[in-house]
Every structure is written in structure tokens, then in C-alpha cells.
Amino acid sequence: MDKRIVVTRTVPEAAVAVLREAGSVHVCTQDGPLSPAELREAVRGAHAVVTMLHDRVDAELVEAAGPQLEVVANVAVGYDNVDVPAVTERGVVVTNTPGVLVDATADLTLGLLLMVTRRLAEGERLLRAREPWTFHLGFMLGSGLQGKTLGIVGLGGIGQAVARRARAFGMDVVYTGRRQAPAEVEAELGARRLPLEELLRTADVVSLHCPLTEQTRHLIDRDALAAMKPTAYLVNTSRGPVVDEKALAEALREGRIAGAALDVFEREPEVEPALLDLDNVVVVPHLGSATVETRTAMAELAARNVAAVLAGEEPITPVR
């Protein structure tokens, strides 16, 4: 029997080619996310669904697809959009795309860090506005990174890659997380594990690389921001709801921290309006994995997961 594979939004052709070897492929080509009702309608009769991070995958979606559904392949490393227990208890495999986006996201994190600490976005806005300017020794001074402390929240693959890059800039590394990193990783990075409260008090830059869970939602709230140095910066390339954006805007406006750089937002694609009015904020539209190579690799990994499950084999990167 020809198996039906639904892809909820366009993906690179290389991934579609892999899927065609596994079944009959339907790609939703709309310009934007499907509504919940549209998504349920699109997946009816599907044996496999390739989803994006904005697609809510829950029991209702599985029921809409039907009893023949075998696998949901999420094109993201995070899977907070998937109710994993509700899906897997119905016998459906859930997969994600870890590993392939580590370097791209780490590169972007350092880019954001440089943008906010050296005021690069602010300087570009000044020139594009055709404002008059002249060079002098006090003009648009930023903050250097050498000898400063980077506090990483979540020392997984991406956090470690960020730490390696930060070490090349002469930064010291501290981290916090649910578990201790292996001794060899700590030794390589010169990293010390601290409780979150101490990390917030210590770090000159706090960089977020934790998954979104009920425990990490609004992890950076008003109290956490109050614990940070007034000269410190916050960088978020994990998930938007890890940060309370209203509290962040208030802290930035009042000078309680020096600046923030955000790639992800609480209510994507919306951005807290108060943040957009501040010069000490850098915002970019979820570009962490946005290279041709990385996005292609993510889609291909999702496709290979689908092909494996539909062939009766073990998935490559299952979510347990």
C-alpha cells in the first residue's frame, strides 16, 4: 500500500526526494502556518507527518490523522510543540533533528553577542537613518569580551559549541543545568558549574540554551533579571517563553541590565512592542539554524526518520 506522507510546510527538495522513496508525498505550500483546524484536515489519512515548530501536535491531531499514523517527524531539535506522551501512547513515533544545527546556532549566538555588546545594530540603524556622525574616542562605546564571564544556561551540544567560541574571544565560562557536564567537557571548556542564582550574579553575559519545559518557562523573570549585574547582557537562542519579555523590557528600560539579544520570542512571530522601542535590544526572526546547509540537513534528517519508521526500522533520532 502506498503510504501517505504530509509535510506541513515547504522543505528543501532534497528532503522531499527522500520522502518520495518512502511513499506518496503531499507538501502544504501555504504562505504561513496552518491553523489547528487546517492542520487536522491536512493530516487526515496520513501515515507520516513532517511538522514544524509552530505546529501543535497533540492527541486531537493524532485522532484526526487516523489509526494508520505511524510517525511524526518534527523539523527542530526542540519539541515543546509536541505533546509527546499523548502522541506516543497512541503508538505513534516522535522524532526530532538534534545535532545538525549545533554549529549554526552557536555561530548566531556569538553574532548576537557581538551585535549587542558592540552596539553594531544600533550603529547600522544610525547610518541607515542618515543621521550625521563623526568619529571621536567616546563615540558609541560598547563592551569588550576579553576577561568577561559567559554564563551558559544549558550546557548541551549548542551550549558547549557556544562556550568553545567564547573561549576563543578570551571569555571565562560558567554554566548551570540539570546535571553536571562530563569532567572532560568541563576541563576542555574550563567551565565551572554554578547554581542559577550564582550564575546570574556572576556572569557578564547570560546565554540561554535550555529546552522549554514547565520548569524553564519564564526561567528568566523579574527576579532573575534583578539578580543580574547592571552591566550584564542576556542572549536567548533557545525558546522565547524561557524569558518573560515584559519583565525584560522593563529591566532594559530602567537600566537594570545593559542589553539583550533575542532570536526567539514568547508569542512568535509577535515581539513584545516595548522591546522594539529600545536601542539596547537586538532582535532577529528565529535565524539560529538559518543556513542553507543546516536547514537542508534538518529536513533531510526528518525525512530519513520517516523513511525508517515506514520501512519498519528504528528511527534515527527518536524522542523518548
Measure the CA–CA gap between 281 and 63, rounded to whole angstroms.
43
Active-site residue, from 4, 209, 239, 304: 239
Measure the CA–CA gap between 240 and 238, rounded to whole angstroms.
7
Closest to 80 in 3D by CA, of 177, 213, 178: 213
Residue 286 known to be catalytic? yes
Q: Any idea what DSSP says for residue 283? A: E
Pair 258, 230: CB distance under 8 Å: yes
Residue 54 known to be catalytic? no
Compute CA distances 286 → 54, 105, 181, 247, 283, whole Å: 12, 10, 27, 21, 9
20: Cβ contacts below 8 Å, ≥ 6 apart: none
How far is residue 89 CA from its own chain's centroid?
27
Measure the CA–CA gap between 165 and 104, rounded to whole angstroms.
12
Active-site residue, from 286, 295, 300, 304: 286
Residue 60 known to be catalytic? no
Helix runs in 118-253, H state only: 120-128, 157-168, 183-189, 196-202, 222-227, 245-253
Q: Which residues of 266-300 are buried (b: 16+ CB within 10 A; e: fewer)?
A: beeeebbeebeeeebbbbbebebbebeebbbbbbb
Antiparallel, parallel or unpaired: β 233-236 and 149-153: unpaired
Q: ω into residue 211 within 30 of 0, thus cis?
A: no
| Other residues' Cβ atoms within 10 Å of the Cβ of residue 227 | 17
CA pseudo-torsion sign 20, 24, 29, 34:
negative
Catalytic residues: 239, 268, 286
